[in-house]
Amino acid sequence: MSCAKRRLRYTNRYELRHDILTSPKALDSYASSAGAFDNRPIGVFDSGFGGLTVASEIIATLPNESIVYLGDSGRCPYGPRSLTQVDGFVQQISRWLLTQDVKMIVIACNTATAAGLAHAQESFSVPVLGVINPGARAAQTASENKRIGVIATQATVDSGAYTHAIRALDEEITVFSTATPRFVEIAEQGVRMAQGPIESFTAQASKVYIRPAFQEIARDYLEPLKRCDIDTLVLGCTHFPLLKTLIGSIIGDQVKLINSAYEVAKDVQGILQARSQLACENNQAQYRFYTTGRDVEEFQDFGSRVLNFPMETVNYLRLEEDE
């Protein structure tokens, strides 16, 4: 069967609301008008390099799929910004990704998902996925005592997005949310510090170098959640899987850590398969990386460590905030 590129559009912009994403009947309904293969890339974006943890899972799950990744490092962090402003960024970046002929958009940022997923799904004709509902589903499945913790940026916590998504699945669950803004800073500092030979060896388990001071910060954030008797903790920022070893050492082995990246990759696979939009089995995947930050070399170093393979080229992209 031919692997010719297919130009596919939704007839209904509301088809990919996340509340129906897991419905087999809904997924099956997408396939009827779809072609056989689609080698166009998947668009993925985040406020920086943290979303590369999601891109990495997509690459592992779907090695034939090409990816266009944009890290909005020039406007990072999103966490302290208003949800309205971040929603504007989501619209702007999604429009740019569509100029790159992507067949799907993945918002690989919890704050951006909380602020702009619904608006993006209404605005654009390609599937748009976020990271909150996949994480909520995984947490609801994993929890046995129905007490779930969430750590995230201030904006994500203030939005209540995780609480709503988890309790929509099971209203008997109690959700304890804590803003942990310094974890983003720790992740980025830890990656920078993991460049030397000794530090790199120490950082192998978590990809970041953990200073004793980082452990004190983590303890201040996580001890109150431990006292809430949670059995599951959602890593509600795509930076946080980089700190899994640190977080796990404080929260304890009895608490399951939820990284939504794996669930997102499965959703991407399911949607593309149902729409017959998977790339050909012999497609040579291509990865293109962009950053709005001026320090392209630093982004390249960070990204190579997160992805576990060298980013050969990173392109600078200028985006105006008032566009």
Catalytic member of 76, 109, 228, 280 = 109
Biggest alpha carbon distance in the chain? 58
Catalytic member of 76, 228, 237, 280 = 237
Provide the 10 A C-beta neighbour count for residue 70.
24
| Strand locations in the chain (E) | 42-46, 67-71, 104-107, 128-129, 147-152, 174-179, 232-236, 256-258, 287-291, 314-316
φ and ψ at 6, to 5 degrees? -110, 135
Provide the 10 A C-beta neighbour count for residue 239.
31
> Cα separation of 209 and 243, whole Å?
9
63: cis peptide before it, omega within 30°? no
237 is catalytic: yes
Nearest to 259 by CA among 51, 29, 84, 116: 51
76 is catalytic: no
> Cα separation of 73 and 298, whole Å?
11
- One-letter amino acid of 130: G
SS3 content of the chain, % helix, strand, coil (to 5): 50, 15, 40
Q: What is the per-residue DSSP string for 5-60?
A: ------S-TTTT-GGGTT-HHHHHHHGGG--S---PPEEEEESSSTTHHHHHHHHH
Residues noted as catalytic: 109, 237
